[in-house]
Amino acid sequence: MGSSNNSHGSHVGSASILLIFAVLSIISFATLTLVNSKADYNLSDNLAERQRMYYEACHKGNAFVAAVNSGYETGEENGIMKESIPITDNQTLDIAIRSNSANNSTNSDNSADIIQWQIVNHSNFSYDTTLPVAR
């Protein structure tokens, strides 16, 4: 009878080790999923803020175009009016418009020609293309 107890004891130990391994694996995967979800949330939040700032600048740009179409002519040089609308600390939306008086022969519907609508970087900004991989 003593030998049969030893064989049952070894099975109980392997089941316990297997259970501990399974629990540790589940905890590890849950932690990795949580970290990945937080990183995805931060990325989405940053992209949403970037899009909000871009569309806010576009809204201001459309207001500038509407003002020019309504007869606004302050700062006109050689028939071209320029506006630089900040998006971030190092980016602007630059707009250049040829006013009605500069092209009255080609433009009969009282609207100006937009000759530039461009995002411009104003510093030596470089994108981070590295992957944060532990070695």
Per residue in 42-94, pLDDT (tens digit) is 999 999 999 999 999 999 999 999 888 887 777 788 888 999 999 998 899 99
pLDDT on residue 15: 84
pTM to 2 decimal places: 0.64
Domain residue ranges of the chain, discontinuous segments joined by +: 2-121
pLDDT on residue 77: 83
* DSSP assignments along 25-63, one per residue: HHHHHHHHHHHHHHHHHHHHHHHHHHHHHHHHHHHHHHH
CA distances for 57 relative to 35, 54, 92, 108, angstroms:
33, 5, 8, 28
pLDDT on residue 2: 46
What mean pLDDT value characterizes the chain?
Answer: 83
Residue 131 has a CB neighbour count (10 Å cut-off) of 5
pLDDT on residue 110: 58
Tens-digit pLDDT profile for residues 3-36: 445 555 556 688 889 999 999 999 999 999 999 9
Tens-digit pLDDT profile for residues 109-121: 557 789 999 999 8
pLDDT on residue 75: 75
